[in-house]
Copies of this chain bind each other. A is one copy, B any other.
Amino acid sequence: MTNEQWLEVFKKIGNKMRGGLSVIMSREGGTVPLGKGAGGDKTFPVDKWAEDIIVAALEKAHRGGENFTLISEELGIRKFGEGEKVVLVDPIDGSNNAKSGIPFFSASLALLSGKTLDTLAVGYVINLAALDEFWAVRGQGAHKNGSRIRTSPLQGITLVGFEASSPASDIPRLMPLIARARRIRCFGSTALDLAYLASGGLSVFATATPSRAFDYAAGMLIVEEADGVITDLEGTSLDHIAVGLERTVPLLASKNDATHVMALNLLSEPRS
């Protein structure tokens, strides 16, 4: 399949989730853990429901002749035939919000033509609570709800987003950046943080705990195709990172190069 055909598969998955979400959530489906996913986080019924929709769509693509490897937050690594392509999935990014009844969580899907992030070809993120849909195909720009999006070209740090898996250690690490922000946000879904940065909402986004590729790969392509920048906290490109289930590096994303340099400088200041 072409990248565009893969994007259509991802959009169909998003549409199917939109249709069924209210039922699974109203059954208190989000609130009782079922066990732990391959990524180490607890699995909730809403995660399982989301992954079932995704796996069914991918099985259909495989029956249609596509070979690829699925790497998913919940079920781990599964081969669909022998092929170079990789599909990276976080069925519900923001599970803690979903299970807490807080409407800010997403599904994140990415297609790669190979094993490292420089082969990212398609990124798709859907806000399942508010229905914003983001996607990017490499070389074709980033889109929100069908319209082309671009980050702001203006330098400056106004609204800063971050995620902190370990608040006690992550906040001190990010504090030089946080202290310079006009306002800060911690929404609980890395995929959405990156998507709303790409669409002009956030100036900068950072994590201190290393993130896993399925959390950020789709958002990374959306940011880059919207003229944003994403590296680790030292400014190193993420292109060489091999995708898998393990944690990789902390993230720093910015709306443009000049703002990224400001953020890198803040985070490299000697800490007391």
Residues of A within 8 A of B (CB): 96-97, 100-104, 127, 129-130, 132, 144, 159-160, 164-165, 167-168, 171, 175, 178-181, 183-188, 196, 199-202
Q: Which of B103, B168, B183, B200 contacts A101 (CB 8 A)?
A: B200
Q: Which residues of the partner chain B approach A167 to less than 8 Å between Cβ atoms? A: 160, 178-179, 181, 183-184
A96–B144 Cα distance when bound, in Å, is: 19
* Contact between chains at A100 and B187 (CB < 8 Å): no
Task: Kindly state the separation between the CA atoms of A78 and B159 in the bound complex, as whole angstroms.
Answer: 33
Q: This chain: how many copies in the complex?
A: 2
Q: How far is B186's CA from A104's CA once the two chains are assembled, in angstroms?
A: 12
- Expressed in whole angstroms, the minimum distance between the Cβ of A195 and any Cβ of chain B is 10
Q: Give the dominant DSSP class at A's interface.
A: loop
Which residues of B have CB within 8 Å of A101?
Answer: 144, 196, 199-201
Specify which chain B residues have a CB less than 8 angstroms from the CB of A164 in the assembled complex: 183-184
Q: A127 and B100 in contact (CB under 8 A), knowing A171-B179, A185-B188, A188-B183?
A: no
What are some 28 contacts across the A-B interface (CB < 8 A)? Answer: A97-B201, A100-B159, A100-B200, A100-B201, A100-B202, A101-B200, A101-B201, A102-B185, A102-B196, A104-B104, A104-B130, A129-B130, A130-B130, A164-B183, A165-B183, A167-B178, A167-B181, A167-B183, A167-B184, A171-B175, A171-B178, A171-B179, A183-B188, A184-B186, A185-B186, A185-B187, A186-B187, A187-B187
Return the chain B residue nearest A180 by Cβ. Answer: B168
Could you tell me the distance between the alpha carbons of A188 and B160 in the complex, rounded to whole angstroms? 12
User: In the complex the two chains form, what is the Cα distance from A129 to B184 in whole Å?
Assistant: 19
